[in-house]
Chain A
Amino acid sequence: NAGVTQTPKFRILKIGQSMTLQCTQDMNHNYMYWYRQDPGMGLKLIYYSVGAGITDKGEVPNGYNVSRSTTEDFPLRLELAAPSQTSVYFCASSYSVGEKLFFGSGTQLSVL
């Protein structure tokens, strides 16, 4: 079972560049999330989605955008990358708010 798949695993960006982090899940989960994990800061929610066509901001949405055109895919777009966006990004999904979260393996992003 693939679960939650994230690509790429590593990426280095220059300041001002843009990129899309891909996330796909094959568990037919309604809820999908994007988190960033910074050392000593824990995980912070960037955006989430409760179903295809429905997205909303989390705690730290500035500098990011998302879309959810299908149940399976939830890409995260970084526009005009800044050094503050250097982090490890995790995509996660769950069937509902009362169910377990399943995480992808993460994308380590450096903005230089």
Chain B
Amino acid sequence: KQEVTQIPAALSVPEGENLVLNCSFTDSAIYNLQWFRQDPGKGLTSLLLIQSSQREQTSGRLNASLDKSSGRSTLYIAASQPGDSATYLCAVRSPSGTSYGKLTFGQGTILTVHP
């Protein structure tokens, strides 16, 4: 059974810092891994999607890496801003015998960037 863990559960940093959020998963047989952002009272917004054959994806100040063999992914946020404050979730899609695979979410990291 795939399990996804995110560390830390919460993180508070001053504006301008570079930071790393961690995601680990127990079964390395995955299709892809996705990082999401969730603002309070809102839905999830997909930030980056990494296919199992890829090592990293970049979008603006965000960079996500994937190491399948060790079951880890990191989300790097450069030059953090107060607007980056949100909950960040990772989700792993794994084979499950169904046509959609199975998407397993982590519990999320609550990020606060203070001015």
Contacts and interface: CB of A to CB of B under 8 A. Distances in A.
Contacts of B63: none
B90 to A, nearest CB: 11
A34 interface: no
Contacts of B68: none
Contacts of B103: 33, 45, 101
Q: What DSSP secondary structure best describes chain A's contact surface?
A: strand
Interface in A27-72: 31, 33, 40, 42-43, 45, 48, 50, 56
A65 to B, nearest CB: 18
Interface in A78-112: 90, 92, 97-106
B44 A50 contact: no
Contact of B46 (A40, A97, A100): A100
Contacts of A99: 49
Contacts of A43: 89, 91, 105
Contacts, number: 52
Interface residues of B, number: 25
Report the interface size class on chain A: 20 to 34
B43 A90 contact: yes
Contacts of B89: 43
Interface string A1-36: 000100000000000000000000000000101000
Interface stretch (B13-21, B69-77, B94-102): B94-102
Contacts of A33: 100, 103
30 contacts: A4-B43, A33-B100, A40-B107, A42-B106, A42-B107, A42-B108, A43-B89, A43-B91, A43-B105, A48-B100, A56-B100, A90-B44, A92-B44, A97-B100, A97-B101, A98-B51, A99-B49, A100-B46, A100-B49, A101-B36, A101-B44, A101-B103, A102-B46, A103-B43, A103-B44, A103-B45, A104-B43, A105-B42, A105-B43, A106-B43
